[in-house]
Chain A
């Protein structure tokens, strides 16, 4: 367990998350991709904190803030999904662009 292996793991998680976020048609699945990316980001933040941050509390705080971003993203995302579904009876990303017409 070194900084490099940890960052490689984080990179792998971000890569998979990016694939998911780009490829999934459904809103909710898309959000799962984002979550997975943030998972990698949090791991990287903690890894830096442990190996090159000399244990400064800001490193931990950064992770907490990423977690908060995640929570907010999820809450707002789902609220939007509900609102869009109510309007369009669909949860596809394509439905968003259709809203213009």
Chain B
């Protein structure tokens, strides 16, 4: 039932979002080409903006993929934490300590700076 409720909410809000756009726009013609040119304060671009975009923070994203895995382990851990007490503290402490080494290393290597 909860999932059904979620589904209904999801579909209704998505539908509303699309309908508010579609209803007033259904008879609008496509704007003219000059209007469709990207806004550059009166200037024009040479090329399409879609390109092999140089993502300046790419090492950070790779680090995140590896570090984020730890979340998968942490959520179940949080549920049994109080029940297990000190043992949970020790194990997760060790786990996080090992991973923090990676973050500190990455920070010292300047990974979070724009490359």
Contact = CB atoms under 8 A, between A and B. Distances in A.
A82 interface: yes
Interface of B: 58, 62-63, 65-66, 68-69, 72-73
Interface of A: 64, 67-68, 71-72, 74-75, 78-79, 82
A64 B72 contact: yes
Contacts of B62: 75, 78-79
A71 B68 contact: yes
Chain A contact surface mostly: helix
Chain B contact surface mostly: helix
A20 to B, nearest CB: 20
B72 A68 contact: yes
Contacts of B69: 67-68, 71-72
Contacts of A68: 69, 72
Contacts of A72: 66, 69
A2 B72 CA distance: 27
B95 to A, nearest CB: 13
Given A64-B72, A64-B73, A71 B58 contact: no
A75 B65 contact: yes
A22 B13 CA distance: 40
Nearest to B115: A82
21 contacts: A64-B72, A64-B73, A67-B69, A67-B72, A68-B69, A68-B72, A71-B65, A71-B66, A71-B68, A71-B69, A72-B66, A72-B69, A74-B65, A75-B62, A75-B63, A75-B65, A75-B66, A78-B58, A78-B62, A79-B62, A82-B58
